[in-house]
Chains A and B, each alone.
Chain A
Amino acid sequence: MHIHKYEKIWLIFGIGCLFVFLTVLGVSAFAKGNQPPSCLTTIDPEKVDQTPPFDKPGLAKTGNNEYQLNMVASAFAYTPAQVEIPKGAKVTINITTKDVIHGFEVVGTNINMMVEPGYVNSFTKTFDKTGEYTILCNEYCGAGHHMMTARIKVVDK
C-alpha cells in the first residue's frame, strides 16, 4: 500500500516520539523503581480489625528515620484521622478497607491509591517539608464520600 512521503515523515516522527516516551516510562518504572502502587497482599475484609498490622492502626517506627503508617478506611472515615510525622521521615503507608472501595489521596503529593476490599495497598514517601496535608477519599463510596478525610502533619523533630 502506498503511503504519501509527507505522511511517512509525519508517522516516523510521531511513532519515534512515542517510543522515546514509552522508554522513559519504562526506565523510570523498572530501573528507577517508580512503579504505581501494587502491593499484591491480600487480607480478609471482614477481619481487618484482628489482622496485624491493622489491629493497631497508626504510625510505627521500623528503623532509623523509617516508619510504617498503617491506616484503615471505612465508610466514611480513616483510622487514624490525624497523624504526626517527623520531618524527613521515610514513611511506608499501608492501607486497606473494611467495606467498599475507597480512594487514598494525599493532596499535593504523588500518593494516590485505590483501596479495595481484600487487598492491602502500599506506597513509600519521604516527607521533606513541614506542613499539613489533607488526605481525602477520591473514589465514590456512598452518601458521605465527600466528608471522608484525614490529616497528616509533618512536624520538626
Chain B
Amino acid sequence: MNDVLKVDRRDAKLALAHIYIAFIALALGGLAGLLQTLVRSGKFNLPANISYYTILTTHGVLLGLVLTTFFIIGFQFAAVSRTTGAFSDRNRFWGWIGFWLMTIGTAVTAFFILIGEASVLYTFYAPLQAHPGFYLGLTLVVVGSWISGFVLFVHYARWKKANPGQVGPLLSFMAVVNMVLWLICSLGVAATVLIQLLPWSLGLVDQINVLVSRTLFWYFGHPLVYFWLLPAYMVWYAIIPKVIGGKMFSDSLARLSFILFLLFSIPVGFHHQLMEPGIDPFWKYVQVVLTFMVVIPSLMTAFAMFATFEMYGRSKGAAGLFGWLRKLPWGDARFFAPFVGMLFFIPAGAGGLVNASHQLDQVVHNTIWVTGHFHLTLATTVVLTFFGAAYWLIPHLSGRIMTRAMNRLAIIQTIVWVVGMSFMSGAMHFAGLLGAPRRSAFSTYANSPQALEWIPYQIAQAVGGTILFIGIILVLVIVTNLAFFAPKGETEFPVAEVAEQAERTPLVFENWKLWIGIAIILILIAYTIPFIDMIQNAPPGSKGYKLW
C-alpha cells in the first residue's frame, strides 16, 4: 500500500481553512449560548433590544451547522489525503470552490439572522417565513458541501482504479460513507428549500404545505446527527488505537458498523414528528423500529473501543479484570478528550432511546430535556472528540508541535467541559422532566407555581453555561497556539494498524451499488405511503408569517 505519512502541504492549507472557520463559529456561537443561559436564569436581560430568538438562531446555525460541517469536511480532506495520497490540482481546486461557497453561504445566512430578518431558529419551520437571503445562504452551504463530497468520491475512485482488488484505506472509506450519507439526506432539505421555501419567501407562490416541508426537513435532520457522529467514530476506530500505542481490534467490523449507519440513519425522521397530527401512528412506529436499529452499530463500536483498550493494556502486562485501565495514557489530551466523549455517549445514547420511543417521547418532547440530550451527544461526545483530534491535526497541518504546557491546558479544558456540561445538561434533563420547554426565553408563565419550580435548574444551567464558555476560551487559546505560535516541528497524523489476529477485510463493503440500493429501498419503505398520504390528504396551504 502506498502509505503517505504526511498530508500534502497544499491539501493541508485547504483542510486548515475549513478548521479555522469552524473555530470562529465556535467562538461566536459559544458566546450566543452563554447569553442564552444567562437570559434563562431570569437575572439578565439582553442589551439594546436584541431578541433572545435572534441569539438562539445564531447559536443553532453556527454550532449545529457551521462548526460541524466545516470541521468535518476539513478533517475528512486531511484524512483522505493522508491515507490515499494528495489530491490532484483539479480536485483540490474544486475543494476550494466548495470551501468558498460554504463560507459565502454562511456569511449571507449570518447577515440575515443578525439584522433580525431570520429569527426562525436553525430548523426554520414554515409557516414562519425568513428573508429569502437566509434560505439562499443555507443553499450555498449545502451545495458547497456537495462539491467537497464529490471531490472525495472522485479521489477515492481514482485510488481504487490505481489499486485494483485492494480494500480502500479505512479512514478514506469511512469519509466516503459519511459523505454518501450526507448527500442522500441533504437532498431532503435541498428539496424543501428550493421547491417550497425559496419560491414562497420570494412571493412566487402564496402558500406552503407545512407538513411536507417538516417531513423533508426531518428526513434530513436525523441523519444530520449521524453525519456529525461518524467523523467522531472515525477518530475512535482508526486513530485512537494508534494514539495509545495499540492496534485496531477489527477492520471489517469497523466497516460493517459504518455501513449499518448508512442504512439505518435515514429512514427514521418520523421519530422527531411523533407528536404531530398529520402522520398515521403505524408509520411512526415503523420508523421508531428502524431508529432503534442504530443501536446495533453503536454496541459494536463500544465493544471495539474497549477491546482495543483492554488488548493494549494487557500487552503492557496489565493484570486483573480492570488492570488495563491503568495502562491507558491518561495524561495525553489526544486520548483523554475523546475518551471522555465516549463515556458521555453512554447517558447520551440512553436519553436518545427515551426520545425516540413512541410513548416516552410524550413526556419529554420539546422540553429542555431534548436540549440537554443533544448537548451530551453533539456538544460533548462529538465536540470533545473533535477537540482531541484538533490537538494533533492542527499542528500536523501547520507544521508545529503541541508543547507539554498546551497538552496540560487541553487536559484542564476537558475537565472544565465535563464540569460545565454536567451542570448544564444535567439541569436541562431534570427541568425537562418537570416540563420546562426548550427554545423559550425566560418566563414564569403568568407566575405558574409549576414554572417557578424550574428556576433553580435554570440558574444551574447558567452556571454550567458560564463554565462551558471558559472551556471554549481555553480551547480557542490552544487552537490559536497550535495554528500560529507553537514551536515548528513535525507532528504525527496517527493512523492505526489492524491487530495481527484480525482477519482480512472482504471487498463486499465497497459494493456501493448494493449498500446505496438497500439504503434507498429502506427509505422508500419508510416514507412512500405516508408521504403520498400527506400530499393526497393535504389541507389548504399556509401563507407566510413574520412574528418576531
With A118-B540, A142-B128, A143-B547 given, is the CB distance from A107 to B448 under 8 Å? yes
CA distance A30 to B359 in the complex (A): 11
CA distance A138 to B175 in the complex (A): 37
Please state if B53 and A18 are interface contacts (CB–CB under 8 Å). no
Q: In this assembly, does A63 line the interface, its C-beta being within 8 Å of a C-beta of chain B?
A: no
Among the 9-residue stretches B149-157, B280-288, B465-473, the one with 4 or more Cβ atoms under 8 Å from chain A is B280-288
Q: In this assembly, does A83 line the interface, its C-beta being within 8 Å of a C-beta of chain B?
A: no
Please state if B303 and A141 are interface contacts (CB–CB under 8 Å). no
Q: Which of A1-26 contact B (CB under 8 A)?
A: 1-4, 6-7, 10-11, 14-15, 18, 21-22, 25-26
Please state if A3 and B253 are interface contacts (CB–CB under 8 Å). yes
Among the 9-residue stretches B72-80, B270-278, B325-333, the one with 4 or more Cβ atoms under 8 Å from chain A is B270-278
Give the residues in chain A near B451, CB-CB below 8 Å: 107, 134, 136
Please state if B253 and A25 are interface contacts (CB–CB under 8 Å). no
Please state if B542 and A112 are interface contacts (CB–CB under 8 Å). no
Tell me which of B296, B438, B442, B545 contacts A11 (CB under 8 A): B296
With A116-B210, A143-B51, A146-B443 given, is the CB distance from A28 to B281 under 8 Å? no
With A29-B358, A38-B277, A141-B128 given, is the CB distance from A44 to B439 under 8 Å? no
Please state if A15 and B296 are interface contacts (CB–CB under 8 Å). yes
Give the residues in chain B near A2, CB-CB below 8 Å: 252, 503
Question: How far, in Å, is B399 (CB) from chain A's closest CB?
Answer: 40
Closest A residue by C-beta to B296 = A15
Closest B residue by C-beta to A45 = B542
Q: In this assembly, does B441 line the interface, its C-beta being within 8 Å of a C-beta of chain A?
A: yes
Tell me which of A29, A43, A114, A140 contacts B53 (CB under 8 A): A140
Question: How far, in Å, is A134 (CB) from chain B's closest CB?
Answer: 4
Please state if B437 and A136 are interface contacts (CB–CB under 8 Å). yes
Q: In this assembly, does A145 line the interface, its C-beta being within 8 Å of a C-beta of chain B?
A: yes
Give the residues in chain B near A45, CB-CB below 8 Å: 539-540, 542
Contact with A along B293-335 (1 / 0, CB 8 A): 0011001100100010000000000000000000000000000
Among the 9-residue stretches B63-71, B362-370, B416-424, the one with 4 or more Cβ atoms under 8 Å from chain A is B362-370
Tell me which of A25, A44, A121 contacts B358 (CB under 8 A): A25
Q: In this assembly, does A101 line the interface, its C-beta being within 8 Å of a C-beta of chain B?
A: yes
Question: How far, in Å, is A137 (CB) from chain B's closest CB?
Answer: 7
Tell me which of B119, B273, B437, B450 contacts A108 (CB under 8 A): B450
Closest A residue by C-beta to B437 = A138
Please state if A29 and B276 are interface contacts (CB–CB under 8 Å). no
Please state if A42 and B362 are interface contacts (CB–CB under 8 Å). no
Give the residues in chain A near B275, CB-CB below 8 Å: 36-37, 112-114, 121
**Contact size range, B:** 35 or more
Please state if B366 and A112 are interface contacts (CB–CB under 8 Å). yes
Give the residues in chain B near A120, CB-CB below 8 Å: 277
Please state if B448 and A149 are interface contacts (CB–CB under 8 Å). yes
CA distance A37 to B441 in the complex (A): 27
Please state if B295 and A18 are interface contacts (CB–CB under 8 Å). yes
The winner among B119, B128, B451 for most chain A CB atoms within 10 A is B128
Q: In this assembly, does B108 line the interface, its C-beta being within 8 Å of a C-beta of chain A?
A: no
Please state if B366 and A35 are interface contacts (CB–CB under 8 Å). no
Question: How far, in Å, is A40 (CB) from chain B's closest CB?
Answer: 7
Q: In this assembly, does B537 line the interface, its C-beta being within 8 Å of a C-beta of chain A?
A: yes
Give the residues in chain B near A35, CB-CB below 8 Å: 281, 358
Q: In this assembly, does B480 line the interface, its C-beta being within 8 Å of a C-beta of chain A?
A: no
Please state if B277 and A116 are interface contacts (CB–CB under 8 Å). yes
Q: In this assembly, does A50 line the interface, its C-beta being within 8 Å of a C-beta of chain B?
A: no
Give the residues in chain A near B438, CB-CB below 8 Å: 138
CA distance A42 to B435 in the complex (A): 28
Closest B residue by C-beta to A14 = B299
With A18-B292, A29-B358 given, is the CB distance from A1 to B277 under 8 Å? no
CA distance A36 to B441 in the complex (A): 27
CA distance A25 to B299 in the complex (A): 21
Q: In this assembly, does B440 line the interface, its C-beta being within 8 Å of a C-beta of chain A?
A: yes
Please state if A108 and B435 are interface contacts (CB–CB under 8 Å). yes
The winner among B53, B275, B284 for most chain A CB atoms within 10 A is B275
CA distance A11 to B245 in the complex (A): 27
Q: In this assembly, does B289 line the interface, its C-beta being within 8 Å of a C-beta of chain A?
A: yes
Q: In this assembly, does A66 line the interface, its C-beta being within 8 Å of a C-beta of chain B?
A: no
Please state if A42 and B539 are interface contacts (CB–CB under 8 Å). yes
Contact with B along A87-130 (1 / 0, CB 8 A): 00000000000011101010110111111111111100000000
Q: In this assembly, does A75 line the interface, its C-beta being within 8 Å of a C-beta of chain B?
A: yes
Q: In this assembly, does B127 line the interface, its C-beta being within 8 Å of a C-beta of chain A?
A: yes
Please state if A138 and B449 are interface contacts (CB–CB under 8 Å). no
Give the residues in chain B near A156, CB-CB below 8 Å: none
With A44-B539, A108-B435, A112-B362 given, is the CB distance from A121 to B277 under 8 Å? yes
Question: How far, in Å, is A115 (CB) from chain B's closest CB?
Answer: 8
Tell me which of A11, A40, A115, A117 contacts B299 (CB under 8 A): A11
Q: Which of B501-548 contact A (CB under 8 A)?
A: 503, 506, 537-542, 545, 547-548
Give the residues in chain A near B296, CB-CB below 8 Å: 11, 14-15, 18
Give the residues in chain B near A107, CB-CB below 8 Å: 434-435, 448, 450-451
Please state if A146 and B276 are interface contacts (CB–CB under 8 Å). no
Give the residues in chain B near A112, CB-CB below 8 Å: 275, 362-363, 365-366
Give the residues in chain B near A29, CB-CB below 8 Å: 281, 285, 358-359
**Can you spell out 17 A-B residue pairs with CB atoms less than 8 angstroms apart?**
A7-B300, A21-B353, A29-B285, A34-B359, A37-B277, A101-B127, A108-B435, A116-B214, A117-B127, A119-B211, A134-B445, A138-B440, A145-B439, A146-B440, A146-B442, A146-B445, A147-B443
Not counting A26-B358, A149-B448, a sample of 4 additional A-B residue pairs whose C-beta atoms are within 8 angstroms of each other reads A36-B362, A38-B279, A107-B434, A116-B211
Binding site for B on A (CB under 8 A): 1-4, 6-7, 10-11, 14-15, 18, 21-22, 25-26, 28-30, 34-46, 75-76, 99-101, 103, 105, 107-108, 110-122, 132-134, 136-147, 149, 151
Binding site for A on B (CB under 8 A): 51, 53, 119, 121, 125, 127-128, 210-211, 214, 250, 252-253, 256, 273-281, 284-285, 288-289, 292, 295-296, 299-300, 303, 307, 353, 357-359, 361-363, 365-367, 434-435, 437-443, 445-446, 448-451, 503, 506, 537-542, 545, 547-548
Closest A-B pairs by Cβ, 6 of them: A142-B547, A118-B539, A107-B435, A42-B539, A121-B277, A138-B437
